[in-house]
Amino acid sequence: MKSDLTLLLFNIMGIDFGMDVEPVKAMEHLDTLPDKKSGVVWFHEKIDFPRPPVLYNFPRALHIETEKKLFQLVIDNPRDMPLVIPIEKIKPFPVLVEQFLTPTPLWAVCPLKERILLLVDPLEMCR
């Protein structure tokens, strides 16, 4: 059983997110994608943001491979990577919060020194 999780961290409009790096095969500038529509998933379209419109300052496309398909997930401000955290640092959402999250790719939180990361299941982003 895994005792650590390696995360890719990013920030969209002041909200910190982390996701497992395992299904991420590559990262590139959004401008270099040959087709910006086919197979591209914008992160904010899968998560309800409290303040629309969502602005991306430094967008990057992550090439994510699932068992069934390959897609590009557009995130913003990737940084502090990779971050290895012990599994025991991951906490479930409080019950009152969790009821408002379904169905979303958010699955847990990870408290760090100065911030809290919302953990995202990258494989759920293509659904």
- Condensed to tens digits (0 to 9), the pLDDT of residues 13-66 reads 989 999 999 999 999 998 888 766 678 889 998 887 777 789 999 999 999 988
- Whether the pLDDT of residue 101 is over 70: the answer is no
Spell out the residues 6+ positions from residue 120 whose beta carbon is closer than 8 angstroms to its own.
17, 18, 19, 47, 105, 106, 107
The whole-model pTM stands at 0.87
Task: DSSP for the chain, please give it.
Answer: ---EEEEEEEEETTEEEEEESTTEEEEEEGGG-S-SSTTEEEHHHHS--SSSSP--SSEEEEEEE-SS-EEEEEEE--EEEEEEEEGGG-BPPPHHHHTTT-SSSEEEEEE-SS-EEEEE-GGGGG-
Mean pLDDT (the chain, rounded)? 86
Sketch the domain layout of the chain as residue ranges: 4-126
